[in-house]
């Protein structure tokens, strides 16, 4: 977790998560996001924002939506996949 921006937007945090393939779906990610919300609050961030959730990442989106994150539209073609094609991304945010 780290600041998503500086100055007057420095109270918005950003974070990234990755769970080993063999351990996904066991709600470890949920624990990480919930802990992140607590840490963000404790360190005076007011918002946790995810900038680049790939639209096809249904498990991540399901997790974030279940924890109350709000999707802010869709950025068409915002993410370049390794094979060179572009996927949409969905920014999400939540007050902590
Ligand atoms: C996104 C990620 C961090 C979530 O961690 P996780 O521990 O798998 O998440 P959770 O188990 O808390 O929640 C995932 C949800 O998808 C479901 N799910 C089903 N099959 C799944 C699978 N193969 N992998 C992941 N989630 C699965 C889970 O059951 C859960 O839904 P539920 O709440 O209805 O039970 C993890 O999947 C991951 O590391 N993905 C690759 C990296 C990535 O995409 N990071 C996020 C970038 S925005």
Residue-wise pLDDT tens digits, 50-66: 999 999 999 999 999 99
Ligand 1 center–CA 12 separation, angstroms = 24
Total tally of structural domains belonging to the chain:
1
CA distance 94 to 47: 6
User: Does the pTM of the predicted model rise above 0.85?
Assistant: yes
CA distances from 56 to 3, 8, 46, 79, 81 (A): 26, 32, 28, 11, 11
Which pLDDT score is estimated for 9?
A: 97
Check which CATH number belongs to the domain holding 53 and give it: 3.40.630.30
Which pLDDT score is estimated for 87?
A: 98
pLDDT band at 67 (very low <50, low <70, confident <90, very high): very high
Range(s) of the domain holding residue 63: 2-95
- Helix (H) / strand (E) containing 47: strand 47-54
Ligand 1 center–CA 60 separation, angstroms = 5
CA distance 32 to 28: 6
pLDDT band at 80 (very low <50, low <70, confident <90, very high): very high
CA distance 50 to 69: 9
Q: Is the CB of 79 within 6 Å of ligand 1?
A: no
Residue-wise pLDDT tens digits, 40-53: 999 999 999 999 99
Q: Is the CB of 36 within 6 Å of ligand 1?
A: no
């Amino acid at each position: 977790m780290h600041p998503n921006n500086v100055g007057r937007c420095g109270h918005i945090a950003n974070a990234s998560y990755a769970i080993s393939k063999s351990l996904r779906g066991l709600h470890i990610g949920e624990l990480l996001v919930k802990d992140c919300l607590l840490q963000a609050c404790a360190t005076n961030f007011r918002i946790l924002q995810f900038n680049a959730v790939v639209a096809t990442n249904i498990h991540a989106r399901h997790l974030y939506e279940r924890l109350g994150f709000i999707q802010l539209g869709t950025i068409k073609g915002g993410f370049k996949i390794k094979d060179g094609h572009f996927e949409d991304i969905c920014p999400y945010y939540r007050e902590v």
